[in-house]
């Protein structure tokens, strides 16, 4: 009997050890990608992803903690348990899905080439041959450019964050940059530093963004998916979307 009680106690302890407390949710983000995530003048994190994350936490009765990281360090930091989810306009790709799990899709992430107005460039290897194109490290845009252009005479230059790429575009060290369409429209073209620049060519369809999660945190994924579905159903997502831009992120 004593041995049986010890076994039962050990089993209960094991279950308790596996149970996770989600009263605090830590989201990792790269705050250089307005209007999805950036810093206000007072140092606060702002943007669509920040609003979505805070609302998810509210619905799950959890405290939100935001952890800043360069984009290419987000997945390693998630796997190292420095935070619980990646909420940073991260597109779902087969390569990333091998390493981490993803929530339900949040929004579409079409890609656009950006260059000086009148540069007559197109998002093709033939048009960009001999040119320098900036991308943010670890993004789907970097993967696309290296896969489709780099071996055909296009110089693909990776940066730690998007602001660095824009700085070199403005200074003339780059001929173009490749990034999320909405981010480029709201975070660059509609700001003073975007004067004289424009989209070059058509959209490149590059999938949808979601929240990156560890594969073994299935209970957290279920909670977050439920919150996302509820936000879409009751119109909260659309309210956040309209706060930042007029584009419908569900139309590609």
Instruction: List residues bridging with 113 in a β-sheet.
Output: 178, 200
State the architecture of 22-108+208-244 in CATH terms.
Answer: 3-Layer(aba) Sandwich (3.40)
Instruction: List residues bridging with 63 in a β-sheet.
Output: 24
What radius of gyration, in Å, describes the C-alpha atoms of the chain? Answer: 21
Spell out the residues 6+ positions from residue 225 whose beta carbon is closer than 8 angstroms to its own.
103, 104
- Tens digits of residue pLDDT in 100-135: 999 999 998 889 999 999 999 999 999 999 999 999
Please state, in angstroms and as integers, the Cα–Cα distance from residue 192 to each residue in 29, 33, 158, 225, following that order: 25, 16, 24, 38
Q: Is residue 4 scored above 80 in pLDDT?
A: no
d(CA 85, CA 53): 10
Spell out the residues 6+ positions from residue 107 whose beta carbon is closer than 8 angstroms to its own.
48, 208, 209, 241, 249, 250
Domain boundaries 111-204, corresponding CATH code: 3.40.190.10
φ/ψ (deg, to 5) at 194: -90, 0
pTM: 0.77
Structure tokens belonging to residue 61: 């009765």
Indicate the SS3 state at residue 71. Answer: helix
Domain parsing of the chain, residue ranges = 22-108+208-244, 111-204
Asked if the domains at 22-108+208-244 and 111-204 fall in one CATH topology, the answer is yes
Q: Is residue 185 reached through a cis peptide bond, with omega within 30 degrees of 0 on the bond before it?
A: no
Q: Is 203 exposed, middle or buried (0-12, 13-18, 19+ CB in 10 A)?
A: middle
Least confident of 8-22, 54-68, 143-157: 8-22
Q: How many CA atoms lie within 13 A of 224 on its CB side?
A: 29
Task: With beta carbons less than 8 A apart as the criterion, state whether 194 and 188 touch.
Answer: yes
Q: Is residue 249 scored above 80 in pLDDT?
A: no
- Tens digits of residue pLDDT in 188-234: 999 999 999 999 999 998 889 999 999 999 999 999 999 999 999 99
Q: Please write down the HEC assignment for all residues of 198-220.
A: EEEEEEECCCEECCEECCCCHHH
């Amino acid at each position: 009997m004593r041995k049986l009680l010890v076994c039962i106690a050990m089993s209960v302890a094991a279950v308790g050890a596996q149970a996770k407390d989600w009263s605090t949710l830590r989201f990792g983000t790269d705050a250089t990608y307005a209007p999805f995530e950036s810093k206000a003048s007072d140092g606060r994190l702002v943007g669509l992803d920040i609003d979505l994350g805070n609302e998810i936490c509210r619905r799950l009765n959890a405290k939100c903690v935001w952890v800043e990281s360069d984009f290419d360090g987000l997945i390693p930091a998630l796997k190292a348990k420095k935070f619980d989810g990646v909420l940073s306009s991260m597109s779902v790709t087969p390569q990333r899905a091998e390493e981490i799990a993803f929530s339900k899709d949040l929004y579409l992430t079409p890609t656009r080439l950006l260059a000086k107005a009148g540069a007559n460039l197109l998002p093709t290897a033939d048009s960009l041959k001999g040119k320098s194109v900036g991308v943010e490290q670890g993004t789907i845009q970097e993967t696309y450019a290296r896969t489709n252009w780099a071996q055909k005479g296009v110089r693909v230059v990776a940066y730690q964050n998007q602001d660095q790429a824009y700085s070199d575009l403005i200074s003339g060290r780059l001929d173009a940059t490749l990034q999320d369409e909405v981010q480029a429209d709201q975070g660059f073209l509609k700001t003073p530093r975007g004067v004289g620049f424009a989209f070059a060519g058509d959209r490149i369809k590059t999938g949808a963004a979601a929240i990156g999660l560890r594969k073994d945190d299935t209970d957290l994924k279920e909670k977050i998916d439920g919150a996302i579905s509820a936000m879409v159903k009751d119109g909260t997502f659309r309210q956040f979307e309209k706060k930042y831009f007029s584009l419908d992120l569900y139309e590609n």
